[in-house]
Amino acid sequence: MSSVGLDSAHRAIDSDFKRSLLHSIALFRGVEPDAIGDLLSRCGRLDVAEGVVLLAPERSNQCVYIVLSGRLEVRLGALESPKIADLHPGACAGEISLIEERDPSAYVVAAEDSHLMVVSHSLLWQMVDRSHQLAKNLLVVLSERVRSDNEFIANRLGMLQQAQRNAVTDALTGLGNRHWMQEMFERELSRAQGTGISLCVVMIDVDCFKAFNDQFGHVAGDRVLGVVADVLREHLRPTDLIARFGGDEFAILMPTSNLDAAEETAERLRREVAEVALPDLIPRVTISVGIAGSNRDDDLNSLVQRADAAMYEAKQKGRNRVIAHR
């Protein structure tokens, strides 16, 4: 993309154009022709080819560009960035940097061959002095630009927040994923050890899940994982942390719980999962559960390993049961 040499490209605005100008441009709408007619004659006209850069953060700006035909694009950060706005005939660019007397905050690029009106810094302020309506229009233009920028920022913030949620959320179950679990479980364990309060980690495995998937297919298997996740959400405390550990395994951290209380809760979860009504062609779903209580010298890995070992013991002893390792 090329930059534009402005001084050599300006041409005077003819009188016939001046009469129709005020009706089509937001900045001049409602302005009496006699108020600024002589000043319009001193404005320039500029033809720019597609790809020409009119405004850039690294260049000072001394003009307002009004689109008479064609289209301009506004881009933030870099010329290669996606556009954040289109400027069609009647719109203007450069007014904010002119008023602030600062370099532009964005790139403005000709999206196609365009014909522009050029209002210099001094002419703009003379027009404002001549016409209260033009001053009002300028405020409206600025307000709309700020609102547009705020909407863009809000949309980008929403996208960022969604991306952050996606980074720590399991897409299938909506529970926290392994990355989220590592951060949140470690934080809660550190807090418990600092205060001397007990907590428990619970590991859950869906019984015979591979055989279930082989027989009924992955769609049915995904549904079973969703059912188990729903039971966990419904029957655990708001303070309990739930994550999909991977595959058909789930992990729960229960703050301020001793082994007896955690075992009682785990038994309730086991019963609730087994009582879920599924279609006749799908057999009853059961889970094996292992629990480990925290010790003063535990880290998260050792705590999860003990809970995992208890869960495998439950599977070896016939599945659909709870084992707690003290």
| Rounded distance between C-alpha atoms, residue 261 and residue 258, angstroms | 6
Specify the pLDDT at position 224: 92
Decide if 289 contacts 269 (C-beta within 8 A).
Answer: yes
Report the predicted TM-score, pTM, of the whole model to 2 decimal places: 0.56
| Rounded distance between C-alpha atoms, residue 140 and residue 152, angstroms | 18
Count: domains in the chain: 2
Specify the pLDDT at position 87: 92
Specify the pLDDT at position 157: 60
Do 12 and 149 reside in the same domain of the chain?
yes
Do 186 and 312 reside in the same domain of the chain?
yes
Token couple for 68: 């008479």
Find the catalytic residue in 248, 280, 297, 308.
248
Do 87 and 143 reside in the same domain of the chain?
yes
Active site residue 230: no
Q: How far is CA 257 from the centre of its chain?
A: 36
Instruction: Note whether residue 166 is domain-resident.
Output: no
Instruction: Note whether residue 286 is domain-resident.
Output: yes
Residues 175-194 as b/e (b if ≥16 CB within 10 A, e otherwise) read bbbeebbbebbeebbeebbe
Specify the pLDDT at position 8: 38
Specify the pLDDT at position 6: 42
The boundaries of the domain holding residue 25 are 7-161
- Strand arrangement, sheet containing 322-325: 241-246, 249-255, 199-206, 287-293, 322-325
Do 218 and 192 reside in the same domain of the chain?
yes
Instruction: Note whether residue 168 is domain-resident.
Output: no
| Rounded distance between C-alpha atoms, residue 188 and residue 107, angstroms | 46
243 torsion bin: left (phi>0), alpha (psi -120 to 50), beta (else) = beta
Per-residue pLDDT of the chain (326 residues; tens, 9 = 90+): 544 444 434 444 444 555 566 778 888 888 888 888 889 889 999 999 999 999 999 889 999 999 999 999 998 888 888 888 899 999 999 888 888 788 888 899 999 999 999 999 999 999 999 999 999 988 888 777 776 665 655 665 665 565 556 567 898 999 999 999 999 999 999 988 888 888 999 999 999 999 888 888 888 899 999 999 999 999 999 999 999 999 999 999 999 899 999 999 999 999 999 998 777 667 789 999 999 999 888 899 999 999 999 999 999 999 999 999 87
Q: Which of 161, 186, 204 is the last residue of a domain?
A: 161
